[in-house]
Amino acid sequence: MGINAVFEALSHPVRREILRLLRDGPLSAGELAAHFEISKPTLSVHFAKLREAELVDVERRGTRLIYHLNLSILEEALSGLLTLREPKP
């Protein structure tokens, strides 16, 4: 996981909304798409960015893709950010 990839993924409001929706549990790509008025190819790009940053895990169930929130990566990124506040020894 690259910290830059995490923050790049978090920089877009659609991707942040996807993560918010996944807080309540796994959702299929179609279920997530129902919350947005953007094209499926554009939404696929957002899903790819989240996968690249490892913020979501994807499980294939037949023809469906099920997205799961990966909180450990988000926690790791936030922890790294908070260390910037610590005074140097």
Q: Note whether residue 61 is domain-resident.
A: yes
- Direct distance between the N- and C-terminal alpha carbons of the chain, in angstroms, rounded to an integer: 27
Q: Note whether residue 13 is domain-resident.
A: yes
The predicted model scores a pTM of 0.83
Q: Note whether residue 89 is domain-resident.
A: no
Domain of residue 16 covers: 3-83
For the chain, the domain total comes to 1
* Res 67: pLDDT: 97
Comparing 2 with 61, which gets the higher pLDDT? Answer: 61
* Res 17: pLDDT: 96
Indicate which CATH number applies to the domain containing 75. 1.10.10.10
Answer whether residue 1 shows pLDDT above 60. Answer: no
Q: Note whether residue 73 is domain-resident.
A: yes
Phi-psi region of 14 (alpha: psi -120 to 50; beta: other; left: phi over 0): alpha
Q: Note whether residue 88 is domain-resident.
A: no
Q: Note whether residue 79 is domain-resident.
A: yes
pLDDT digits (tens, 9 = 90+) for 5-64: 888 999 999 999 999 999 999 999 999 999 999 999 999 999 999 999 999 999 999 999
Size (the chain), residues: 89
* Res 86: pLDDT: 65
